[in-house]
Amino acid sequence: MKKSILDLIGNTPLIQLDEHVYAKPEFLNPTGSIKDRMVKYMIEAAEKSGELKPGYTVVEATSGNTGISLSMIASLKGYKAKIFMPETMSIERRKIMEAYGAELVLTESMNEAVKRAEELGKNNGYFYLNQFRNKNNVLTHRYTTGQEILDSMDGIDAFVAGIGTGGTIMGVGQALRERFPDVKLIGILPKDEPNRIEGIGCYYGEILKEDFLDRIVRVSNSEAFSTARELARTKGLLVGPSSGANYFVAKTLKYERVVTVLPDSGSRYLSTGLFGSL
């Protein structure tokens, strides 16, 4: 028996998508995305350090998934959450955050969202989660996601992940290279402008170290969307466009064992036309 839904975060299985590609279905986390891991880890670290105290409001800038995770976890732990998010993100994201009781402020851009969250976080009674610069973002994936992959694989040749904050590829990459120094790390950024692959490429700060990666691949909106539809219709996996981008790149690599993540559920993209015209 689990004492809390927080105990269901992480420990997702590794599933085989084809002959050489394996994936972590991170949409199985309680709110439907990989960001549950990071938010739980960072909030608990802030509680232990004394930066986050009872009665505080937790503030964050997000393209959506982190805001949803924060809304749920803050509510469960008794904090208020105030989220700044670009107005271009899907309507489902807004509604889910509001369902968890968060206060949502829409902005014209991610840069504006970050600036406003940062300013508010300087005030007494507020804690700025700061996913784009918080070292615990990387540590989350080094000590959870990365270790889970190592526990599931006898060897790995390449790891593929979209770059949002950079936390996933940096943290998992650090864990994998401790055991397999030659593993290839391949990051993904959007090719198109405007970018419709929500969750990647919109903003990244000090966490990402590009020289740590072997390669960065650019993926178009159509490539990500069509591959997300492929995953739904051939693999039974209802996932978002960043998952499509990850699998699009992973399946083209000429390595024996390629691992990637499926960051979030496709259910929060139904209003975007991802799975068909509206």
**56 vs 199, higher pLDDT:** 56
| pLDDT single digits (tens) 1-35 | 999 999 999 999 999 999 999 999 999 999 999 99
Query: Which residue in 109, 264, 138 sits closest to 197, CA to CA?
Result: 264
Q: How many CB atoms lie within 10 A of CB 106?
A: 14
Alpha carbon dihedral 149, 146, 62, 228, in 10-degree steps, equals: -20
Q: pLDDT tier at 120 (50, 70, 90 boundaries)?
A: very high
**160 vs 90, higher pLDDT:** 160
Catalytic residue positions? Answer: 35, 242
pTM across the whole model: 0.95
Pairing outcome for strands 15-16 and 21-25: antiparallel
5-28+143-272 with 37-128: one CATH topology?
yes
Q: pLDDT tier at 58 (50, 70, 90 boundaries)?
A: very high
Pairing outcome for strands 80-86 and 103-107: parallel
Indicate left, alpha or beta for 23 from its phi (over 0: left) and psi (-120 to 50: alpha).
Answer: beta
Question: For residues 112 and 248, what is the distance between their CA atoms, to the nearest angstrom?
Answer: 31
Which amino acid is it at 201?
G
- In the chain, pLDDT over 90 holds for what percent of residues? 93
Mean pLDDT of 70-93: 95
| pLDDT single digits (tens) 134-178 | 999 999 999 999 999 999 999 999 999 999 999 999 999 999 999
What's the helix, strand, coil split of the chain in %, to 5?
45, 20, 35
Mean pLDDT of 250-276: 95
pLDDT at site 278: 44
Q: Where are the domains of the chain?
A: 5-28+143-272, 37-128
Beta strands in 156-244 (DSSP E): 158-162, 184-190, 215-219
Q: What is the CATH number of domain 37-128?
A: 3.40.50.1100
Question: For residues 56 and 125, what is the distance between their CA atoms, to the nearest angstrom?
Answer: 5
Question: Taking 90 as the threshold, does the pLDDT of residue 228 lie above it?
Answer: yes
Class of domain 5-28+143-272 (CATH, top level): alpha beta
Q: Give the mean pLDDT of the chain.
A: 96
Question: Taking 60 as the threshold, does the pLDDT of residue 277 lie above it?
Answer: no
| pLDDT single digits (tens) 191-214 | 999 999 998 987 666 899 999 999
